[in-house]
Amino acid sequence: MAKKRLIQAINDTLFAEMERDPKVILFGEDVEISMFGDTKGLHERFGPNRIRNTPICEATLTGMAVGAAAGGYRVILHLMFSNFIYTGFDAIANQMAKLRLMTGGQIKLPITVIAGYGGGRSTAAQHSDTPYPLLMNLGGVNVAVPSTPADAAGLLKTAIRGDNPTFYLEAGGRGGERGEVPDDDFTVPFGSARVCRPGTDVTLVSVGAMMKPTLQAAGALAGQDIDAEVIDCRTLVPLDTETIIASVAKTGRIVIVDEARDRCSAASHIAAVVSDEAFTHLKAPVKRITVPNVAMPYAPNVEKTVIPNQEQIAAVTESLVNNPDK
């Protein structure tokens, strides 16, 4: 067990996986210099055939990932900021997510797309989106959103070793967070949520960057005699609805915290599933805490108002538990 920063856990895992399997290749814009530090040193170690800087051409890079994966490689495509998923979206939505079915299951597409997501750093609307709802709706891609260094390592291994396209979204600006990472070759299976904090009064469900304010809110609520159970989804596709439903069956209440815009967010989907499958257990309405349907503002004071925070989560949860009719 070693204490590591999240970005270091990702970097170490990329080294280990490229070492483990010579078919793993990585390419993307400026991956050699590594803006986030996650691909740092790989180029020196593995050379230009395994890791390569590309021109800025996302529409081509996503298509190349499909072609190279079809050619037998395990492709890691680094898209830098998740907004660039949009510029490369044709090959994601029309090829990566669909070709396996369209070809009658002839191919496997082992592709891991890495991109930083989320706001909080005044990068404005074109560098701070949280695009996982869009990806969840495609059907043919997995979505992993790690929140701890250990999960970052375990989920990345599952993504790279797996035979399906996976979007591995790094919470922007959270790479410095530290945590224990096991030394052995462990993986975190997809579709397995983690109960980070057991509780009996209310279920708080979140993912990625929102886990921190959610856990802080749970801590604060404990001081108000509200015992919150906190669940980290870890992957949104596949989504471990079983763990969420089991928790709601116990607590009767749920608050879902999501950094995506509210309309058709991951939170909306989870809310719909809970309403369908846990309706008889509910003692209060299903609550979503999300980003309003606006583009991420640049001004720090305005940006701060749109991203869910500890106080908001605690206040909404307290109100739900104590005044459910309000």
Contacts (Cβ under 8 Å, ≥6 apart) of 40: 11, 34
Residue 2 pairs in a beta bridge with: 181
Q: How far is the CB of 283 from another protein (least distance, A)?
A: 32
Asked if 33 touches another protein (CB under 8 A), the answer is: no
Please state at what angle helix 310-322 crosses helix 211-222, rounded to 10 degrees: 50
Q: How far apart are CA 152 and CA 181, in angstroms?
A: 9
The residue among 57 and 299 lying less far from another protein, judged by its C-beta, is 57
* Residue from 21, 54, 173, 192 in contact with another protein (CB under 8 A): 54
Q: How far is the CB of 54 from another protein (least distance, A)?
A: 7
String of contacts with another protein for each residue 220-249, x by CB under 8 A: ------------------x-----------
Clarify whether 127 is annotated catalytic: yes
Asked if 67 touches another protein (CB under 8 A), the answer is: yes
Q: How far is the CB of 62 from another protein (least distance, A)?
A: 7
* Residue from 16, 35, 70, 125 in contact with another protein (CB under 8 A): 70
* Residue from 6, 14, 51, 64 in contact with another protein (CB under 8 A): 64
The residue among 101 and 302 lying less far from another protein, judged by its C-beta, is 101
Neighbours of 299 (CB within 10 A): 10
Asked if 59 touches another protein (CB under 8 A), the answer is: yes
Residues across the chain? 326
Q: How far apart are CA 198 and CA 248, in angstroms?
A: 12
First to last CA, the chain: 47
Element (H, E) at 154: helix 149-161
Q: Which two tokens stand for residue 28?
A: 């993307």
Q: How far is the CB of 189 from another protein (least distance, A)?
A: 11
Is the bond preceding 213 in cis, omega lying within 30 degrees of 0?
A: no
Asked if 95 touches another protein (CB under 8 A), the answer is: yes
Asked if 31 touches another protein (CB under 8 A), the answer is: no
| Binding residues among 174-203 for another protein as defined by CB under 8 A | 190
Q: Are 231 and 180 in contact (CB under 8 A)?
A: no
Q: How far is the CB of 269 from another protein (least distance, A)?
A: 14
Q: How far apart are CA 237 and CA 231, in angstroms?
A: 15
String of contacts with another protein for each residue 134-163, x by CB under 8 A: -----xx-x--------------------x
Count Cα atoms within 13 angstroms, Cβ side, for 2. Answer: 9
Q: Which two tokens stand for residue 140?
A: 């043919």
Total residues in contact with another protein, by rule CB under 8 A = 43
Q: How far apart are CA 52 and CA 35, in angstroms?
A: 14
* Residue from 8, 12, 63, 232 in contact with another protein (CB under 8 A): 63
Q: How far is the CB of 36 from another protein (least distance, A)?
A: 23
Q: Are 290 and 258 in contact (CB under 8 A)?
A: yes
Active-site residue, from 43, 78, 127, 269: 127
Q: Which two tokens stand for residue 115?
A: 């991109």
The residue among 104 and 223 lying less far from another protein, judged by its C-beta, is 104
Chain residues in the site for another protein (CB under 8 A): 25, 49, 52, 54-55, 57, 59-73, 75, 90-91, 94-95, 99-108, 139-140, 142, 163-164, 190, 238
Residues recognised as catalytic: 127
